Amino acid sequence: MAKMSIIDIDPKGKRVLVRVDFNVPLDADRNITDDSRITAALPTIDYLLERGAKVILVSHLGRPKGGPDPSLDMAPVAARLAELVTAKVTKANAVVGPEVEALVAAMKPGEIVLLENSRFEKGEEKNDPELSKQLAALCDLYVNDAFGAAHRAHATTEGVTRFVSPAVAGFLLQKEIEILGDALLRDPKRPLVSVLGGAKVADKLGVIDSLLTVSDTLIIGGGMSYTFLKAQGYEIGKSLLDAEKVAYCADVLRKAEETGTKLLLPVDIVIADEFAATANTKVVPADAIPADWMGLDIGPLSRGLFCDAVKSAGTVFWNGPMGVFEMEPFARGTYALAQALAESGAVTIIGGGDSAAAIRQMGFADKMTHISTGGGASLEYVEQGTLPCVEALTDR
């Protein structure tokens, strides 16, 4: 990559501010239910500690409304981090200010200070230059290792880079950019099969356009496929419909034909008479959904069609489930696809979000080449070919 990375700096004795993505899920008792975002940052943290840096970590957690929220402070994260590293971990009670400055001044090489939830500061999401300056004053070097937040130009991700130099990529951010950039967009092992699912077409317009250009085969399943079926003139009953995007879907179908990109849609659908795990279900052809039923998963013929395409791929990019996988009767399409990816021998890239959750839940995570740590960020990268917070880093 053309940006400086962590291996280009000498952090010995330096105060290094690292933007991590510790936005982990918490249960009702504030226990962390999945610490994979913390463990994903450990190579960068350990690298800095081993080289005698003073490591200052900052992350957001959840969506606090307009200021500090005790239910979203970083205490559970600090406790888990302390179990995962040998270094001393001190949690600050603020993001910036005199208390933080005193903690940082007292740090010894090989120690960690974890700042409070960055979104407790109103200036974070506004990318406030004043907050960015205060953050920059805490450090000598800046490392961004928060790919999951790299599509948002906030004070801790983009603003701070204007006041501290160099600003470099951590190992996780670098890996994400290299895999999504080189292995997917610039030089994929062919054939490239892209699979898009999930709910809304509107959320993925730019991604569809981008993947249509680079893919040999584009598979569309999940909730968004019903708008494409509608664009073909099919009755879709009470299935999810992005009514304003029917014309766009018709345009995509036409473009695919013109460019020779194979576009696969479901040929049969698992339908239900209500949105519930206990609903009555049946399998019907994609053009025969009754008016008062809804599609909630791809059918067995579609599973076979999609899985065959994946098995012959050189590279597979997947974002979005094939059905309502949270309900057992409608999880078979997603499961079949996950299994096909696991058995494919292709370079398999999972674009974060629900697909990543499904892959982990179904036990196939260790069979994938790469599971992105950022759903929204990975989609924006696929769409734009870069991200605001990557652009903000120092050129090599």
Q: 314 or 67, which is more confident?
A: 314
Out of 200, 262, 311, 367, the active site residue is: 200
Q: Where in the chain is the domain with CATH 3.40.50.1260?
A: 6-172, 179-383
Out of 37, 152, 204, 332, the active site residue is: 37
DSSP string for residues in 335-368? HHHHHHHHTS-SEEEE-SHHHHHHHHHTT-GGGS
Fold classification of 6-172 is Rossmann fold (3.40.50)
344, two tokens: 């494919």
Q: With cut-offs at 50, 70 and 90, classify the pLDDT of residue 1.
A: low
The pLDDT of residue 2 is 87
Q: What is the mean pLDDT of residues 78-99?
A: 98
Q: State the average pLDDT for the chain.
A: 95
Residue 119 is among the residues annotated as catalytic for this protein = no
The pairing of strands 141-144 and 167-169 is parallel
The pLDDT of residue 353 is 80
Nearest CA among 111, 40, 53 for reference residue 82: 111
Sheet of 167-169, strands arranged across: 89-91, 112-114, 54-58, 15-19, 141-144, 167-169
Q: What percent of the chain has pLDDT over 70?
A: 100
Out of 159, 353, 374, 375, the active site residue is: 353
241-268 pLDDT, tens per residue? Answer: 999 999 999 999 999 999 999 999 999 9
SS3 97: coil
Instruction: Give domain 179-383's CATH architecture.
Output: 3-Layer(aba) Sandwich (3.40)
54-79 pLDDT, tens per residue? Answer: 999 999 999 998 789 999 999 999 99
Residues near 353 by beta carbon (within 8 Å), at least 6 away in sequence: 198, 319, 320, 375, 376
Say yes or no to pLDDT of 276 above 70. Answer: yes
Out of 110, 181, 314, 376, the active site residue is: 376
Q: With cut-offs at 50, 70 and 90, classify the pLDDT of residue 285.
A: very high
The pairing of strands 268-272 and 281-285 is antiparallel
pTM value? 0.90
Residue 238 is among the residues annotated as catalytic for this protein = no
Residue 353 is among the residues annotated as catalytic for this protein = yes
